[in-house]
Amino acid sequence: MTIKSFAGAALCVLALCLTAQAQEKGAAGAKKEPVMDEKQKAAMEAWQKASTPGPQHQKLADMAGTWEVTIKSFEGGGEPQVSTGKASRKMIMGGRFLQEEYAGTYMGQPFNGMGFTGYDNIMKRFTMVWLDSMGTGVMVGNGEMDPAGKVLTSSMTYSDALTGKQALVRQVMKKESKDAETFEMYGPGPDGKEVRMMEMTYKRVK
């Protein structure tokens, strides 16, 4: 759902509510409890269902906390470059989105990033946004979690500085235990075939 369609849907529901309220005002302007017809009730129920956090959001809430992170970068071939940092995660927007703030180093340089992960009740998919200090673009994507709730696989698009075009990466987040996760990123290599670009190991500290 785009921002425009999301806002439009919200305005429609608001308009239905205001109409119901207006219909219930007496001659003296006294406000009564709003009475909605079946169409209005259905619209309100659909909107409430779509906006209410569910089991998938609880899975995101389980990932909140402070984590120590080790990054292995496989770009360029040879032995991986190792970096470290710390990730702080918390649920925002009434338990609807997981916000992650990352601070550390990457390939010998200071590195900061911020990401948001949610679950779209309408599209039935997890959604992601990521931005960091190594670029001016924004990575966006979506994915699915396995039935056991331990593996989240997603696809993300980003602006590729080498080609000047949008590129695609595949990400796999694995919940190894309550306090341990691994994150892997795959993208096209020089020959166009998929290669592992990065591996991140998360260890919860609190």
Span 167-186, pLDDT tens digits:
999 999 999 999 999 999 99
Identify which has the larger pLDDT, 38 or 93: 93
d(C-alpha 167, C-alpha 68), whole Å: 29
Confidence of residue 4 (pLDDT cuts 50, 70, 90): very low
pLDDT the model gives residue 29: 56
Residue 32 has pLDDT above 70, yes or no: no
Positions of CATH 2.40.128.20 in the chain = 57-204
Q: State the average pLDDT for the chain.
A: 86
Asked whether 168 and 153 are in contact (CB, 8 A), the reply is no
Residue 1 has pLDDT above 50, yes or no: no
Angle at alpha carbon of residue 116, lines to 114 and 117, rounded to 5°: 145
d(C-alpha 206, C-alpha 23), whole Å: 53
- How confident is the model over 43-76, as pLDDT tens digits? 888 888 889 999 999 999 999 999 999 999 997 6
Residue 139 has pLDDT above 60, yes or no: yes
Query: For the chain, what percent of residues have pLDDT higher than 70?
Result: 83
pLDDT the model gives residue 179: 97
Question: Amino acid identity, residue 165?
Answer: K
CATH superfamily of 57-204: Calycin beta-barrel core domain (2.40.128.20)
At 149, phi and psi to the nearest 5?
Answer: 75, 25
- How confident is the model over 142-154, as pLDDT tens digits? 999 999 999 999 9
Look at the block and give the residue holding tokens 């673009």.
137
The beta strands (E) that lie in 47-193 are given as 65-73, 81-92, 97-106, 109-120, 125-132, 139-145, 151-159, 166-177, 180-188
d(C-alpha 180, C-alpha 98), whole Å: 17
* Half-sphere exposure in the Cβ direction for 123 (13 Å, CA): 13
d(C-alpha 183, C-alpha 98), whole Å: 16
